[in-house]
Amino acid sequence: MKNSILTILAITALVSCKKTENTVVDNNTDSTAMMAPMDSTAMTSNDATMGGMKTADMTDQDKMFVDAAAKGGMMEVMLGNIAETNASNQMVKDFGKMMVTDHSKANEALKSWAMNAKYTLPTSLDADQQKMVDDLKMKTGADFDKAYTDMMVSDHKKDIAEFKKEASEGTGDVKAFASTTVPTLEMHLTKAEAAMNAVK
């Protein structure tokens, strides 16, 4: 199968982390996932040319994975914007800003892939994700810093496991994308842990 997702996503410096399925607001919960940082100079108009994998080629697992990545990306932008406003620690603010930048680019790349694959992505958060966003909006300062960074560390650990599962059991472009993205997720986990340690 052609590497169409890699053309639009991985080549643009590894995008999208998926949101795992169940979320609750707590320090040990899963909430969102982060996408890899993107090199803005890497994405050109030619990168938007898609082909290869179509909806019919995707397994149910592939579809769940892509749906979760789309919802996780939307949520990550929302949470990053909140972090820029509500965080008190500059490292947390900068981390949130990076997530907004990375996820906004990644979300657009994913939309381009979906259009070519004739796949309909989710356009809104699920109820648990929306509750997470709403709850974090109510936190400020040190309380926000701790809740946000704890969430990011927990999520990344779960996301890495989910991406490795897709890399092992997925198919075609989605499998290749997941495999290529794992190292970037691991780098994001390191950054999330550093931010978490800075606000303890």
* 97-129: pLDDT as tens digits: 988 887 788 788 778 878 888 889 999 999 999
Cα(71)–Cα(21) distance, integer angstroms = 10
Chain length of the chain: 200
What is the value of pTM for the model shown?
0.73
Q: DSSP 3-state assignment of 75?
A: helix
pLDDT (average), residues 72-96: 93
Q: Which of 35, 50, 192 is nearest to 105 (CA)?
A: 35
So where are the chain's domains?
Answer: 4-18+32-37+71-198
- Reading the block at residue 152, the tokens are 């990011």
pLDDT (average), residues 78-106: 90
Say which CATH class 4-18+32-37+71-198 falls into: mainly alpha
Q: Which residues contact 94 (CB under 8 A, 6 or more apart)?
A: none
b/e sequence 102-127, b meaning 16+ C-beta within 10 Å: bbbbbbbbbebbbebbebebeeebbe
Is residue 52 very low, low, confident or very high in pLDDT (cuts 50, 70, 90)?
Answer: low
